Structure 1
Amino acid sequence: MKCKWSSKVNNELTCSYEAHENGYCIFHKKNKTKKENEEVIKLIKKKKISDFSGFIFEENFSINDIVNYNYNELNFTETIFIKEALFDNYTFKGKIIFNYTNFLEFTTFINSKFLYSTVFNNVIFNKKYSKEKVFIGVVFKGQNLVMDSVHNLPRMDGIKFDECSKFILLDTKYEKEDYISGKINYRIARNQANKIGDLERIGYYYYKERYYGSKTIKASDYPTYKDYLSSKFFDGLSKYTVGYGERPWNILIVSVLTISIFALLYMIIGVRTLDNELIRISIDELKHYSLIEILDTYISFWYFSMVTFTTVGYGDMLVTSIIGKILVSLEVFFGVTIGAAWASVIIKRMIR
């Protein structure tokens, strides 16, 4: 009877080994005895197994003591390491796949060397060790190192990439206590993208680096609380208006919102036409206006707000009150500032 294990992420992936009484082979069996765990290691060495899909390692796993044979690929899809998983001081001589792999205890790759592409997809590291530098001394010479949707990814300080290696870091999120790790890892990804000219991802990495960096800003890092508030303010302004220079659509959204809000304010205080006719909507008499009248008036004020924001100022509508002049001055200032920000973002992306 064949082992009844089957993959939860790939319906076509099943086990071809013979099952024991419980329906699972020795590799996929849970709660193995000490003797059975020793037998697992012996069988791996004897059969020179390179596909560890769904295997459950219940004792410390040291790749140097186990995988000392040739292979084209090591596949750890849905592999569960219940105790320590030690990959340090090892040379990976084939493609490596960690797909939905679960490291329940400490894991380390210190001083290892990767000669081919390596994928970490939906891998779960133990959160307790997320601040550990488990990749120190790693030399990566493969084509691609992909980290996609990795949970509790430890800091990657100390990893050395070949000049042609691509580091792809996607959808890897961090919780509050690990924001510094997120900042560092996305910075490493950005630096490598800059080195190899991976222009498509530089902006994404920079945004993520700044995003997590903003969450690590502390008052204790500044000489005065005023400096801290100033830093937080300008960081937030940069984030929501220009997306740290990487999201130009944010500027368009901010522009439309600014124009719309000022149009509403103008509609309340009133604007005069060249015929000296005052156009406004009285809040006290709002119930006397139809929806069509309100919309028609608002469109006129939106037009006025638009030409004010863009500093065109056709002159067919004028503000005469003090409050109106203050609002116009503010909107012109916002328009000039946002326009300059838009130009700088576009030029930056074009130059890149």
Structure 2
Amino acid sequence: MFEKKAKEAKRLVKQKKKNYGQIYSEELEHFSRFFGDVEEKLIQGENNPPENFDYFEIENEEYIFTKIKDKAIGNESIFKKEDEIVSGKKFYGVEFDNCIFHNVIFKNCLFIGCKFDRCSTMPSEVIFKNCYFNRRRSKNVKQISAGDFEFNNFFTIFNDSQFVVDFINCELEYALFNDCEIISSKFKENNMKDMIFNNCKFAGIKISDCDMRNLKIVNLDFIEGFSIEDKKKTTKFNRETYLEEIDDSQENLNEIHKTYLLFAECFKKNNIIELYGEYFYLSKKIKLKSLNFLERIPAYFSYLSCGFGERPWYAMLISGIIIVLSAIMYMILGFEINGDITAYKLAFQSNNWVSLSVLINDFFECLYFSFNSYFGIGNYKIDLVGWSRVIFAIKRILGVVIMGLFISTLVRKMTR
């Protein structure tokens, strides 16, 4: 199920990166055509280390197709506790390149088609409140692929950046976070539809009451302290919401387990039961790796017999294996047909081999008996001897338990 989603998500990442530059050029041409020649501007600081970046004061009401590079934005000193508030400003096609944001709050601002590249807020933070990061493109703009949502939207990219950031009641639709570290951050009451997080690190992220339909999280490099809250019952998932399987070689397996459970519960609340089951299954698989030896025994049985209640066909597969292995053990340990006792262990010891046709016939006789006795059907013309009876008893117990699990799991999934 997830392989197709993973390929599609990664295709979208490549498409967004490619399309952004093309859309930028089209929008620049569009502005020049309707408002006269628009030149790209560069506002660049001195070649100083980040701690000594020149302070950039946002004075203009709008910045259009401008590159702001090597600048500090916000309070001039990171040691000031009060925040600088930037309100009602418009940034259109603006690239913030290698900029540092210090204790700044953006309120009611537009960041249309902007790019935050190699930016940082460390050790302070930035807050975006009631801001827009996407705009539907004008019908007058030539669109190469009119049915393609990336071409219909001038979206924002966050690339190779480190953020301590809060997004509150923002329009983040179609935004791309690529190679970013997002630390101690909040996403609250945002429109996050069609967003993509690619190759990011999450540390202490809280998402509250957001619309996450079509959101994709792929190539997640690290996760810790991740949470999703639904206090106002406005968190939205759909069938296209996707969290790619996280690399389980990381040490924080418990965090990965909790993250899968969070997604499972969100799918359940949005009545998408099949995806609830898939992420619940992933959470149990990850949890299995963190258990001690004694805890793993029943957990592995649950996994192999019914896929933690999400894979009823596992029961049929394990049943087939038990039936075949039991048949082989009956042949080795001994069985009786019409008063003749056959035990292949004796043949092995005495090097007294039988013909291939006899071997095949005995195997199918034992296999038929094993199948019928496992499911409790048919008449048996085989009697067991010696340790074969112990194998038979163990197989019957396993058969009752596994078939019970199969029926309950199947009914549970059908009821959903």
3-state secondary structure, aligned to 1:245? coil
Distance in 1 of aligned mates of 2:190 and 2:196: 13
Q: What pairs up with 1:60-75 in 2 under 5 angstroms?
A: 60=121, 64=127, 71-72=134-135, 75=155
Whether the aligned pair in 1 keeps the contact of 2:331 and 2:343 (CA below 8 Å) is: yes
Structure 2 equivalent of residue 221 of structure 1 = none
Q: Partner of 2:206 in structure 1?
A: 135
Cα distance in 1 between the residues matched to 2:19 and 2:351? 67
Per-residue CA shift, 1:284-337, capped at 9, x if unaligned? 356733444433322221111111211225122212x23232222222112112
Asked whether 1:318 is paired with 2:383, we answer yes
Q: Is 1:304 equivalent to 2:366 in the alignment?
A: no
Aligned residues, how many?
313
For residues 70 and 276 of structure 1, do their structure 2 counterparts lie closer, same or farther at Cα, with a shift above 3 Å needed?
closer
Unaligned residue ranges in structure 1 (runs of 5+): 1-6, 19-24, 219-227
Q: Is the 8 A contact 1:87 1:112 kept in 2?
A: no
| Structure 1: distance between partners of 2:128 and 2:412 | 51
- From 236, 239, 242, the counterpart of 1:165: 236
Partner of 1:238: 302
Q: Does 1:107 align with 2:140?
A: no
Partner of 2:288: 214
Query: SS of 1:135's equivalent?
Result: strand
* Residue 165 (structure 2) pairs with residue 87 (structure 1): yes
Aligned counterparts of 2:154 and 2:264: Cα–Cα separation in 1: 28
Show CA shifts across 1:39-76 (max 9, x none). Answer: 999x99364553356x5224438664799566326745
In structure 1, the residue matched to 2:222 is 152
- 1:121 CA displacement: 4.1
Query: What CA deviation, in whole Å up to 9, does each residue of 1:114-172 have, x standing for no partner?
Result: 124143343321xxxx5x42216x33135344333422133322533744611543323
Residue identity in the other structure for 1:252 = M
In the other structure, the counterpart of 1:349 is 413
Structure with the larger strand share: 2
Q: Secondary structure at the match of 2:166?
A: coil
Q: Distance in 1 between matches of 2:166 and 2:340?
A: 81
Structure 1 distance, partners of 2:192, 2:297, is 45
Structure 2: 5+ residue stretches without partners: 1-11, 26-40, 55-68, 75-88, 95-110, 136-152
* SS state at 2:205 partner: coil
| Residue among 350, 353, 377 paired with 1:288 | 353
How far 1:96 sits from its partner (Å)?
3.7
2-side partners of 1:157 and 1:8: how far apart? Answer: 24
Q: Is the 8 A contact 1:241 1:251 kept in 2?
A: yes
Corresponding residue for 2:117?
56
CA contact (8 A) 1:93 1:114 kept: yes
Partner residue in 2 for 1:266: 330
Please tell me whether the aligned partners of residues 45 and 67 of structure 1 are also in contact (alpha carbons under 8 angstroms). Answer: no
Which residue, out of 24, 28, 37, partners 2:70? 37
Q: Do the aligned partners of residues 122 and 170 (structure 1) sit closer, same or farther apart at CA in structure 2, a change above 3 Å counting?
A: same
TM-aligned CA distance change 1:290 to 1:14, over 3 Å: farther
- 1:198 is aligned to 272
* Paired residue secondary structure (1:92): coil
Structure 1 Cα separation of the partners of residues 133 and 328 of structure 2: 72
- Going from structure 1 to structure 2, the CA distance change for 1:192 and 1:155 (only over 3 Å counts) comes to same
Compared CA separation, residues 140 and 58, structure 1 to 2 (3 A): closer
Cα distance in 2 for partners of 1:68, 1:349 equals 43
Q: Percent identity over the alignment?
A: 15
Deviation by residue 1:2-44 (Cα, 9 ceiling, x = unmatched)? xxxxx993485474689xxxxxx979xxx99746323999x99
Question: What letter corresponds to residue 363 of structure 2 in structure 1?
Answer: Y
Q: Which has the higher helix share?
A: 1
Tell me, yes or no, if structure 1 residue 181 matches structure 2 residue 235. no
Residues 71 and 254 from structure 1, CA distance in 2 versus in 1: closer, same or farther, beyond 3 angstroms? Answer: closer
CA contact (8 A) 1:85 1:106 kept: yes
Residue of structure 1 in register with 2:61 after alignment:
none
Are residues 63 and 287 of structure 1, via their aligned partners in 2, closer, same or farther at CA, if it must alter by over 3 Å? farther
Aligned partner of residue 267 in structure 1, secondary structure: helix
SS across alignment from 1:60: coil
- 2: CA distance, partners of 1:119 / 1:286: 69
Residues 182 and 115 (structure 1 numbering): CA distance in 2 closer, same or farther, change over 3 Å? same
Taking the aligned partners of 1:199 and 1:68, their CA distance within structure 2 comes to 34
The secondary structure found in structure 2 opposite 1:212 is helix
Task: Note the C-alpha offset of 1:95.
Answer: 0.5
* Equivalent position amino acid for 1:38 in 2: K
Letter of the 2:261 counterpart: R
Letter in 1 for 2:297: F
Please, which of 168, 176, 182 is the counterpart of residue 98 of structure 1? 176
Residues of 1 paired with 2:158 and 2:358: CA distance? 63
Q: Report deviation, 1:186.
A: 1.4
Contact 1:37 1:59 in 2 (8 A): no
Write the letter of the residue equivalent to 2:160: I
Partner in structure 1 of residue 403 of structure 2: 339
- Report if aligned partners of 2:305, 2:318 keep a CA contact under 8 Å in 1: yes
